Amino acid sequence: MSDASGARRSLATLVGLGVLNHSVLGGLRVEIALDALARGATAATVGLLMALFALLPMFFSVAIGRFVDRTGGRGPMIAGSALLACSTALPAVFPGYPALFLSSTIAGFAFILFQIPVQQTIGDMGEPRKRAKRFSQMALGYSISGMAGPLSAGLAIDAFGFRTTYLLLAIVPLVPLVVLASRPLSLPAPVAAAPRERPRALADLWRHRVLRRVLAINTLFAVGWDLHTVFVPVVGARLGLAAAEIGLVLATFGAATFAVRLAMPWIASRAAETDVIAVALFTAAVAYATVPFAANAGVLALISFAIGLGLGSGQPMVMSLLSARAPPGRMGEVVGLRITLAQSMSVAVPLAFGTLGSTLGLAPVFWGVGACLATGGVLVRRRE
């Protein structure tokens, strides 16, 4: 087998393993939210549960990235898969709010422990000029898991109940664990860092003007993404939708991200990056403004699809830019910084808007985030 075909096989396998773990994370988010709502939770409580997925990644992503830069990604990916399986099974073994809170906290950390080395490896794997293509393939795969995770969880909950669904989801991360532990993948060795006269500081990355701007854009996309994940189950429950219908609504978001990412090579060849990003932010902003007017599952699914079209076009472009601008030997650290910023929004958005939704209603939540996204689109256009 040639080096090129071996690299393609390793990339496809790595993306496939990522899809499995990402499906579990997406399904677990939906199930924990619906489980809490079935126990009488408010929007603020659901927001807190969703925020806990991002709590530990917010603090430890940079440290994980630095560790991966030094040691390589296989060990952290194995540990993340094992931890994800354990945390997903926890609410089945100990039903109730304590297990839901603990599962959310551990599962978010477990997935980031797996995901940071995946992104670092994909950035270093193969030719630099094909980096954007590799990240697009990863994003397409995660669009599939974005559909499969919520939809399968919703269907399983209606068919088998919450406890059995937790156990079914917990089996899935065992596949990446076994594959990575058996070493069939040829992963790139850690890249040597550039010589330096003083210890590396995180502030060095933040002083990089282009890197800072790309990270800020990524944070806006993260805000929009997190709000959709947190509040669609809340809106669906208030509309009286079944778990399968809520899963289907979330799956339409994944379908939209898949469709737009499939078209991204054609779009990118005909439009400037700033134009694509600005249109994506404006599209998501308009869609969010219409959420309070959704009266049934069909309308909510159409709005979810529009939000997915807007937000789905952002991540591959952001990841490619970050990988291209990262200093040698610091890609894992850059990915960690990106995730830290995104996860800080994943903590702040559910907490702040969950409290707002419980006091003032959900409409101000969606209009406020829509205004933020639209403002970001204006600023991107002005900086072109």
Determine the pLDDT at residue 130.
67
Proportion of the chain above pLDDT 90, given as a percent: 27
Domain residue limits at 110: 3-181+202-382
161 pLDDT more than 90: yes
What's the whole-number mean pLDDT along residues 4-33? Answer: 87
Per the domain annotation, does 250 fall within a domain?
A: yes
Residue 195, in any domain of the structure: no
- 186 occurs within a structural domain: no
Contacts of 63 (CB under 8 A, 6+ apart): 336
**What is the pLDDT, as a whole number, of residue 22?**
94
In a domain, 187, yes or no: no
Q: Is the model more confident about 32 or about 119?
A: 32
pLDDT score, position 383 = 58
User: Backbone phi, then psi, for 308, in 5-degree steps?
Assistant: -65, -40
What value does the mean pLDDT take over residues 356-374? 79
Residue of 282, 269, 3, 249 whose CA lies nearest to 146: 249
Q: Cα 57–346–351 angle (5° rounding)?
A: 120
What is the spatial distance between Cα 336 and Cα 74, in angstroms, rounded to a whole number? 16
Which one is predicted more confidently, 329 or 2?
329
Question: Which CATH number is 314's domain given?
Answer: 1.20.1250.20
Query: Is residue 141 situated within a structural domain?
Result: yes
From the centroid of its chain, how far is CA 34? 19
pLDDT value at residue 79: 94
Of 82-86, 98-102, 137-141, 304-308, which range is least confident?
A: 137-141
| Residue 50, φ and ψ in degrees, nearest 5 | -70, -35
If one counts the domains in the chain, the total is 1
Residue-wise pLDDT for 250-272, tens only, equals 888 888 888 888 887 777 677 77
pLDDT of amino acid 27? 93
Q: Which residue has the higher pLDDT, 232 or 77?
A: 77
Say yes or no to pLDDT of 342 above 80: no
For the chain, percent of residues with pLDDT exceeding 70: 79
pLDDT of 187: 67
Query: Could you tell me the two tokens for 21?
Result: 């773990």
Stated pTM of the model? 0.73
Mean pLDDT for the chain overall: 81
**Residue 101 pLDDT:** 96
pLDDT (0 to 100) of residue 173? 96
The pLDDT of residue 264 is 75
Binned at pLDDT 50, 70 and 90, residue 231 comes out as: confident
192 is a domain residue:
no
In a domain, 190, yes or no: no
Q: What is the pLDDT of residues 281-325, one digit of tens each?
A: 899 999 999 988 888 888 999 999 999 988 888 766 666 666 666
Q: What is the pLDDT of residue 382?
A: 67
Residue 197's pLDDT is what? Answer: 44
Other CB atoms within 10 Å distance of the CB of residue 200: 16
Q: What is the pLDDT of residues 164-207, one digit of tens each?
A: 999 999 999 999 999 998 876 666 655 554 445 444 566 666 66
Instruction: Calculate the alpha carbon distances from 195 to 65, 123, 198, 199, 205 in Å.
Output: 19, 21, 9, 10, 16
Contact present, 256 and 305 (Cβ < 8 Å): yes
User: Does 85 score more than 60 pLDDT?
Assistant: yes
More confident residue, 167 or 352: 167
Helix residue spans in the chain (DSSP H): 3-38, 43-71, 74-93, 97-124, 131-160, 162-171, 174-181, 202-206, 209-238, 243-262, 264-268, 273-290, 297-312, 315-325, 331-360, 363-382
